[in-house]
């Protein structure tokens, strides 16, 4: 439509209005970009300042003496801070990865079953899956803590993985069910007629098509677990088990706060999430099912 109205001299009016909308859109996007990117940029700038420069007022927009000292300190296992940070980082990575794997392993078949099969109690089950998400997370803090203590799981990473699954799984199942609903059932029927068993049809035809959904679900679970604070704070007390969000808190000390160190740690904490997105974003955009069937 844009091509037609732009090359059609008989409709200058609609063309001008169209351009105005476009510019409004661009301005809006730039504002959104500034809004979302500024904290990240400021975080990075602060992280390469010295402790003194970080507290200066008016602030230095670009540090007069940029330094990577905070990063060196955090990534050097020789000192206490570095050892702690690397351990927290590893703990977070472990908990988040385990959560992601479990979420995908359970959600994929569950979502497929909800999408394809009718069985007694299907609707009830499906909505009860969502019931958990009707309440704020903190509501379950005490019950889950008591449950974990009963199971002897307090102060273990397992308790965190299980807790994160109670948040992540319902949404993962909903998300994936949407993807399976959009994959025409005729594809599986064709595969089954072509000689595949039900499982083969799922693994060889449906799974590759739902890859974008699985990846989106995985990223979602990973980020949820990676950023989670309150449960990690409650269920873990031993220093060597802490995850990053709790660990970073240790940069706030009673008398002074090491702002460059805090910002450097926060910046590195955001790295895995950004990398995940950059590597896997093409799966989000690729419309894989296009051309499969005629609608």
Partner 1 sequence: MAHVVLKDLVKTYGTFRAVNDVSLTVNDGEFVALVGPSGCGKTTTLNLVAGLIPLTSGDIVIGERVVNDLDPKDRDIAMVFQNYALYPQKSVYNNLAFPLQMRKLSREEIDRKVRETARILDMTHLLERKPRELSGGQQQRVALGRALVRDPAVFLMDEPLSNLDAKLRVQMRSEIKRFHQDLKATIIYVTHDQLEAVTMADKMAVMSGGYLQQYDTPAQVFAHPVNMFVASFIGSPAMSLIPLESASAGGKTELTSPDGWALPLSARNARKVEAATGRKIVLGARHSTVKLHKGPVPGAVPTKAYTVEPTGDVTFVQAYLSGAIVNISVAPDIAVAPDEPIWLEFDQERMHLFDGETQNALEAA
Residue 203 Cβ, how far from partner 1 at the closest point, in Å? 12
Q: What burial class does residue 209 get, using C-beta atoms within 10 Å of its C-beta: 0-12 exposed, 13-18 middle, 19+ buried?
A: middle
Residues 225 and 168: beta-carbon distance below 8 Å: yes
- Give the residue with the Cβ less far from partner 1, 43 or 196: 196
32 versus 190: smaller Cβ distance to partner 1? 190
User: At closest approach, how far in Å is the CB of 292 from partner 1?
Assistant: 4
Q: Do you find a cis peptide bond into 100, omega within 30 degrees of 0?
A: no
Contact positions vs partner 1 (CB under 8 A): 184, 186-187, 189-197, 200, 205, 208-209, 288-295
Nearby residues of 3 by Cβ (< 8 Å), 6 or more positions away: none
Q: Choose between 196 and 223: whose C-beta lies nearer to partner 1.
A: 196
Cis, bond preceding 58 (omega within 30 deg of 0): yes
Query: Which residue reads 């060196």 in tokens?
Result: 72
Q: Which residue, 29 or 193, is less far from partner 1 as judged by CB?
A: 193
- CA-based angle 88:89:90, to the nearest 5? 90
Minimum separation from the CB atom of position 198 to partner 1 (A): 8
In the complex with partner 1, the residue whose CB is nearer, 58 or 291, is 291
Shortest Cβ distance from residue 295 to partner 1 (Å)? Answer: 7
Please give the structure tokens belonging to residue 50. 């010295």
Shortest distance, position 6 Cβ to partner 1, whole Å: 27
∠ CA 90-138-101, nearest 5°, is: 40
């Amino acid at each position: 439509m844009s091509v037609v109205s732009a090359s059609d001299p008989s409709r200058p009016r609609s063309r001008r209005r169209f351009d105005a909308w476009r510019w409004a859109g661009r301005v809006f996007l730039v504002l959104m970009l500034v809004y979302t990117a500024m904290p990240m940029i400021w975080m990075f700038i602060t992280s390469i300042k010295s402790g003194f420069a970080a507290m200066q007022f008016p602030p230095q927009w670009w540090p007069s003496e940029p330094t990577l000292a905070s990063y060196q300190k955090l990534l050097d296992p020789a000192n206490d801070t570095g050892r702690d940070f690397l351990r927290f980082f590893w703990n977070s990575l472990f908990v988040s990865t385990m959560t992601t794997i479990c979420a995908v392993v359970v959600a994929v078949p569950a979502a497929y079953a909800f999408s394809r099969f009718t069985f007694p109690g299907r609707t009830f089950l499906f909505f009860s899956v969502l019931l958990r998400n009707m309440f704020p997370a903190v509501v379950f803090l005490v019950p889950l803590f008591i449950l974990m203590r009963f199971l002897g799981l307090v102060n273990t990473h397992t308790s965190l993985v299980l807790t994160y699954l109670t948040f992540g799984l319902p949404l993962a199942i909903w998300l994936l069910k949407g993807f399976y609903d959009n994959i025409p059932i005729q594809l599986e029927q064709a595969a089954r007629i072509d000689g595949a068993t039900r499982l083969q049809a799922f693994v060889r035809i449906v799974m590759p098509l739902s890859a974008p959904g699985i990846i989106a679900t995985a990223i979602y679970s990973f980020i949820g677990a990676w950023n989670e604070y309150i449960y990690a704070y409650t269920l873990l007390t031993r220093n060597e088990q802490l995850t990053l969000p709790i660990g970073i808190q240790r940069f706030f000390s009673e008398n002074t706060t090491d702002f460059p160190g805090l910002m450097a740690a926060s910046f590195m904490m955001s790295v895995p999430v950004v990398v995940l997105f950059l590597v896997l974003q093409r799966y989000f955009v690729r419309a894989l099912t296009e051309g499969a069937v005629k609608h």
